[in-house]
């Protein structure tokens, strides 16, 4: 067995995959794993004080997105929130069986859409252009009076590209369809105001905002009906049953508060670090270029193609130097499937396989980025020196 790696040893540049738990969040949740174990639904004080903690977390979460506390439903993860919003919409009106999503949604939405299509629901995937931007004309054509819900992410987890959510909500509403956005990658990076955005449903995930795994939020606009699809029961206003995951919900509330407070820091600390990493790679390593709209994207994310390199090979070399990042491909049954996001943008399979995503957080430092740059440069040089012969240039997207 390989030896355990501790957080002190690593340079963690994979914060769109998951994040470390903020020590302040951990401190807030621990009493609810030890002393305060009462059931929040119990009437005695030992239970009701836990209910009070839940309601505080609901208020903190609502404040993060400018919602009312009763519009916050705690779930088990972002995937559940995504699935619940779409499934609810389909149950409300049998004359609206159609679902519209983008071609670059997270698998949490894509896999559900595939399952719905197998059940006979018409599903439309709206394409993106070579910068990863959504084709709004195609979206307008896709949404009809049979569309139950349009579900389009706000920020892409692979490229960080941002979609114009308010405009998309208007397009959905013009045909009487509901609108859900998967905003899992957004908190702490951009301000979220559900009222200004005009969304009906919005999904969040705890482990993307320095909270533990196993808790999410579904914002459900109180002016819209919501139909529980899987987990019936009395909790969460009868919309999502199951005794609440109290400690994690308390953690989510605290993490939401910290995420709201760190928005300026994201611009003044994280964005410059991302830019330092990105420009360092582009300047120092020939044959590198950015995937996705370089302007309109999250401040913490960069997705870079390294011409002639297998991303998985580069990841292994980085791992040997304790650097964590993600590749533009996923290993499925022994073969490397190129990322559906990059291929939807028109990237060739080679380019997608040569791409790596680096995603930062408020816990990264300038020294880490300097070290990472040296390691990335040396690793790319090593992989290129091992190539039997110079490969032809990788095709550019679009």
Residues with active-site annotation? 331
Minimum Å distance from CB 255 to ligand PLP? 13
Which pairs from 47-52 meet CB under 8 Å and 24+ separation? 50/246
Position 187 contacts ligand PLP (CB under 6 A): no
**Choice from 60, 185, 262, 355 touching ligand PLP (CB under 6 A):** 185
Minimum Å distance from CB 182 to ligand PLP? 5
Minimum Å distance from CB 132 to ligand PLP? 13
Sign of the dihedral defined by the CA atoms of residues 258, 261, 263, 266, in that order: negative
**Choice from 96, 98, 106, 357 touching ligand PLP (CB under 6 A):** 106
In Å, what is the CA distance from 176 to each residue of 95, 145, 309, 387?
A: 12, 7, 47, 56
Phi, psi of 202 (to 5 degrees): -150, 135
Position 211 contacts ligand PLP (CB under 6 A): no
Who's near 237: CB < 8 A, 6+ residues apart? 70, 73
User: CA nearest 173: which of 204, 145, 135?
Assistant: 145
**Choice from 40, 216, 292, 311 touching ligand PLP (CB under 6 A):** 216
Position 157 contacts ligand PLP (CB under 6 A): yes
DSSP class of 189 = T
Sign of the dihedral defined by the CA atoms of residues 31, 15, 109, 180, in that order: positive
d(CA 330, CA 45): 50
Position 301 contacts ligand PLP (CB under 6 A): no
Of the listed pieces 19-27, 114-122, 182-190, 344-352, which binds ligand PLP according to CB under 6 A? 182-190
Q: What is the largest CA-CA distance in the chain?
A: 74
Alpha helices, DSSP H, located in the chain:
23-29, 45-65, 78-92, 107-118, 136-142, 165-174, 194-197, 246-261, 263-265, 271-284, 311-320, 340-344, 349-353, 366-385
Of the listed pieces 41-49, 74-82, 224-232, 269-277, which binds ligand PLP according to CB under 6 A? 74-82
Minimum Å distance from CB 184 to ligand PLP? 4
**Choice from 100, 108, 139, 325 touching ligand PLP (CB under 6 A):** 108
Residue with tokens 């049954």, as numbered in its chain: 333
Which of residues 28 and 85 has its CB atom nearest to ligand PLP in the complex? Answer: 85
Q: Confirm if 218 and 227 have CB atoms less than 8 A apart.
A: no
Of the listed pieces 72-80, 161-169, 255-263, 371-379, which binds ligand PLP according to CB under 6 A? 72-80
Who's near 287: CB < 8 A, 6+ residues apart? 306, 307, 308, 393, 394
Position 182 contacts ligand PLP (CB under 6 A): yes
Position 205 contacts ligand PLP (CB under 6 A): yes
**Choice from 38, 78, 188, 313 touching ligand PLP (CB under 6 A):** 78
Position 184 contacts ligand PLP (CB under 6 A): yes
Which of residues 171 and 202 has its CB atom nearest to ligand PLP in the complex? Answer: 202
Position 328 contacts ligand PLP (CB under 6 A): no
Position 311 contacts ligand PLP (CB under 6 A): no
Position 147 contacts ligand PLP (CB under 6 A): no
Position 341 contacts ligand PLP (CB under 6 A): no
Considering CB under 6 A, how many residues would be counted as binding ligand PLP? 14
Give me the residue whose beta carbon is nearest to ligand PLP.
78
Position 79 contacts ligand PLP (CB under 6 A): yes
Minimum Å distance from CB 82 to ligand PLP? 6
Which of residues 101 and 177 has its CB atom nearest to ligand PLP in the complex? Answer: 101
Minimum Å distance from CB 157 to ligand PLP? 3
Instruction: Return the number of other C-beta atoms located less than 10 Å from residue 238's C-beta.
Output: 11
Phi, psi of 288 (to 5 degrees): -120, 145
Q: Confirm if 128 and 59 have CB atoms less than 8 A apart.
A: no
Minimum Å distance from CB 359 to ligand PLP? 10
DSSP class of 162 = B
Minimum Å distance from CB 367 to ligand PLP? 28
Which three-class secondary structure state does DSSP give residue 88?
helix
d(CA 222, CA 71): 6
Interacting residues with ligand PLP (CB under 6 A) = 77-79, 82, 106, 108, 153, 157, 182, 184-185, 205, 207, 216
């Amino acid at each position: 067995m390989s030896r355990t790696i501790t957080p002190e040893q690593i340079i963690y540049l994979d914060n769109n995959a998951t994040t470390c738990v903020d020590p302040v969040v951990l401190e807030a949740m621990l009493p609810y794993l030890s002393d305060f174990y009462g059931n929040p639904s119990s009437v005695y004080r030992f239970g009701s004080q836990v209910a009070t903690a839940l309601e505080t977390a609901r208020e903190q979460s609502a404040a993060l997105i400018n919602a009312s506390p009763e519009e916050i439903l705690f779930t088990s993860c972002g995937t559940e929130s995504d699935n619940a919003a779409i499934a609810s919409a389909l149950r409300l009106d049998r004359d609206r069986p159609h679902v519209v999503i983008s071609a670059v949604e997270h698998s949490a939405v894509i896999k559900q859409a595939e399952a719905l299509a197998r059940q006979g629901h018409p599903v439309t995937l709206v394409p993106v252009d070579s910068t990863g931007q959504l084709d709004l004309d195609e979206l307008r054509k896709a949404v009809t009076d049979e569309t139950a819900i349009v579900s389009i992410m706000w920020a892409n987890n692979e490229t960080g590209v941002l979609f114009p959510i308010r405009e998309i909500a208007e397009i959905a509403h013009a045909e009487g369809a509901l609108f859900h956005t998967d905003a899992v990658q957004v908190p702490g990076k951009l301000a979220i105001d559900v009222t200004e955005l005009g969304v009906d449903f919005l999904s969040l995930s705890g482990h993307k905002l320095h909270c533990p795994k196993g808790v999410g939020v579904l914002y459900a606009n109180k002016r819209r009906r919501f139909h529980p699809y899987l987990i019936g029961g009395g909790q969460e206003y009868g919309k999502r049953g199951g005794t609440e995951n109290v400690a994690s919900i308390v953690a989510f509330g605290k993490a939401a508060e910290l995420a709201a407070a760190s928005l300026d820091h994201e611009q003044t600390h994280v964005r410059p670090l991302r830019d330092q990493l990105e420009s360092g790679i582009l300047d120092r390593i020939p044959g590198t270029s950015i995937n996705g709209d370089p302007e309109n994207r999250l401040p913490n994310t960069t997705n870079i193609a390294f011409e002639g390199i297998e991303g998985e090979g580069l990841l292994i070399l980085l791992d040997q130097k304790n650097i964590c990042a993600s590749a533009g491909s996923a290993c499925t049954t022994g073969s490397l499937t190129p990322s559906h996001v990059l291929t939807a943008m028109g990237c060739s399979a080679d380019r997608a396989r040569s791409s790596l995503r680096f995603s930062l957080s408020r816990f990264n430092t300038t020294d880490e980025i300097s070290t990472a740059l040296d390691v990335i440069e040396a690793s790319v040089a090593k992989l290129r020196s091992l190539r039997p012969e110079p490969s032809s240039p990788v095709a550019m997207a679009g």
